[in-house]
Amino acid sequence: MKEIKLKICGMKYEDNMKAVSELEPDYLGFIFYRKSSRFFDTVIPEIPKEINKTGVFVNASVEEIIKKVTLYDLQAVQLHGNESPEFCEELKKRILTPLNAQVEIIKVFSIKDEFNFDTLKPYEAVVDYFLFDTKGKLPGGNGVTFDWKVLENYPSKKPFFLSGGIGLETITKLTDFMKSKASKYCYALDVNSKFEIVPGLKNIEALKTFKETITT
Instruction: Please state, in angstroms and rounded to a whole number, the distance separating the CA atoms of residues 121 and 123.
Output: 5
Beta bridge partners of 202: 196
Q: For position 101, what pLDDT does the model report?
A: 66
The pLDDT assigned to 33 comes to: 96
Give the model confidence (pLDDT) of 54-65 as tens digits.
999 999 999 999
pLDDT attached to residue 55? 98
Those residues with Cβ within 8 angstroms of residue 158's Cβ, 6 or more apart along the chain or in another chain: 120, 124, 127, 128, 129, 130, 185
CA separation for the pair 11, 3 (Å, rounded):
24
Express each pLDDT in 131-185 by its tens digit. 999 975 555 445 678 999 999 999 999 999 999 999 999 999 999 999 999 999 9
What is the model's pTM? 0.94
CA distance 185 to 171: 19
Cα gap 76→72, rounded to integer Å: 11
Closest listed residue to residue 43, CA positions, set 60, 7, 18, 20: 18
DSSP state at residue 204: H
Q: How many CB atoms lie within 10 A of CB 76?
A: 22
Polymer length of the chain = 216
Domains observed in the chain: 5-214 (3.20.20.70)
Contact 23, 32 (CB under 8 A): no
Per residue in 7-26, pLDDT (tens digit) is 999 999 999 999 999 999 99
